[in-house]
Amino acid sequence: MVKPRRYFPWRLARQVFFSHFLFVVVTLVLTGFSLRYFLYTELLRSDDVHKTLARFDSYLTSLFVTVLFFAAIYLALTSRAYARPLGRMIQRARELRRLNAEVPTDELDPEELEEEPGEWTDLERALNRIHRDLRARTDDLSREREELSALIGAVSDAILAVGTDENPLFFNPQFALYFGGKEREGRRPSLSELFRSPDVLTAYRQVLATGERQVVNASLHTKASTKIPRVFSISIAPLRDNETGEVFGVVGIFHDVTELKQAEQIRIEFVGNASHELRTPITNIKGYVETLKDDFKNNRFDGAQPFIEIISKNVDRLIFLVNDLLDLSTLEQGGELAKSVVSTRDVTETALRSVETRRAARRQTIHVHHHASQLLADPRRLEQVTTNLIDNAIKYTPEGSEINVTWDHEGDAVVLKVKDNGAGIPPEHHARLF
């Protein structure tokens, strides 16, 4: 492993050296002048004062130069010894700020341990431990942030968190797909700019104020559905500070329940229609049975035959409705189809025989065109579909009109077309069929 380049604080070393060197110089100068003054006062009594002082000045100058030379060498070495560990600590402090350097260890070079004071080594080891712990915590936070980002991005529901100022803290891609949220003029749109629904705004603000979670249902327009709103179940919870417990924001999860609401509405309507369809024949049967009971009690049997025929027709109607319900249940459970090669002519003739009575009563004409002779399908299910389509055409087409039944090829598929000139299916019911 290549050792990193060591940082040496030359400016600091120069400052340490010159400050100590200046101190030595000043001390020597003051000492020299003091000695010279003392010697001068002592030699006033001598005859050769000036010669003695000159010799003393020469010796003193040599001494000053020698002392200063060795002092400079000593100070250079000591300043380097103090500056080297301090340089490493300055470098380590810069690495702490960047948090991108190699994680240090507590082991130092033996040469450094011999040359440098123990306090510097202990301080550097402490900085190394701080660096290592801080780097580990930073890595943990980065990993947790990546995991949280991946988790939020994988959620199929829309998520929006806002702060106390009602500005977004974060949102996931699904929320952006539904409602946008991109920056405008250097800032993200606020909560009131994202939503116009009073229910959503009130719920968010109440959770911010009370700190209690709420669940609200709201119909909201999305980017993909601007005309018809979609129904969302929104669960809103507070975001609290771990230490103080104060609410610093709220997060809402938008669960799209549009399909569930539509399915629930269809179920309610289906139950109502099925109840009505079942009630009608049952009521008829009940009424005619009561009439027959009175006739039999009074020994009147001549008029019973028409009533029995009506009861039989209503029983057939009940059987037909129950079979439809059973078929619907089977289809909902995903039952497998018993497919085989089916003749389109046989299927059509069976369906026409089933509706012949109603067709004749309405004096309608049915034209059949067989451009496709056979297909792979479940015979019983195909007969049901064909019969239902032709029967609906008979019911909702004016009397005396014409109905066209066509079997045709479209690519690899066989298509059945039943065409009439009736009023057609209202647009609001298209979604249930197509």
Q: Is the pLDDT of residue 110 over 50?
A: no
Q: What is the mean pLDDT of the chain?
A: 78
SS3 call for 76: helix
Residue 219 or residue 96, greater confidence: 219
Read off the pLDDT of each residue in 309-338 and give the average, rounded to a whole number: 78
Q: Is the pLDDT of residue 20 over 70?
A: no
- pLDDT tens profile 154-201: 778 888 999 999 898 888 888 888 888 777 666 788 888 888 889 999
Architecture of domain 340-433: 2-Layer Sandwich (3.30)
What is the DSSP code (8-state) at residue 407?
E
Least confident of 38-52, 102-116, 264-278: 102-116
Question: Percentage of the chain surpassing pLDDT 90?
Answer: 16
Ranges in the chain annotated CATH 1.10.287.130: 262-332
The CATH topology of domain 262-332 is Helix Hairpins (1.10.287)
Read off the pLDDT of each residue in 209-213 and give the average, rounded to a whole number: 91
Residue 178 near residue 222 (C-beta atoms within 8 A):
yes
Of 376, 381, 369, 388, nearest to 413 by C-alpha is 376
Instruction: Grade residue 114 by pLDDT with cuts at 50, 70 and 90.
Output: very low
Ranges in the chain annotated CATH 3.30.450.20: 155-256
Instruction: Grade residue 144 by pLDDT with cuts at 50, 70 and 90.
Output: confident
Residue type, 105: T
Q: State residue 351 phi and psi, 5-degree precision.
A: -65, -40
Alpha carbon distance 198, 191 (integer Å):
11
Architecture of domain 155-256: 2-Layer Sandwich (3.30)
- pLDDT tens profile 371-423: 998 999 988 888 888 988 998 899 888 888 999 999 999 988 999 999 988 87
Take residue 328 and report the two structure tokens written for it. Answer: 């619907």
Which residues have C-beta within 8 Å of that of residue 396, sequence separation ≥ 6? 420, 422, 423
Q: Is the pLDDT of residue 8 over 60?
A: no
CB neighbour class for 191 (10 Å; exposed up to 12, middle 13-18, buried from 19): buried
Ranges in the chain annotated CATH 3.30.565.10: 340-433
SS3 call for 366: strand
Q: Tokens 């994680």 correspond to what residue?
A: 103
Read off the pLDDT of each residue in 71-75 and give the average, rounded to a whole number: 67
Per the document, the length of the chain is 434
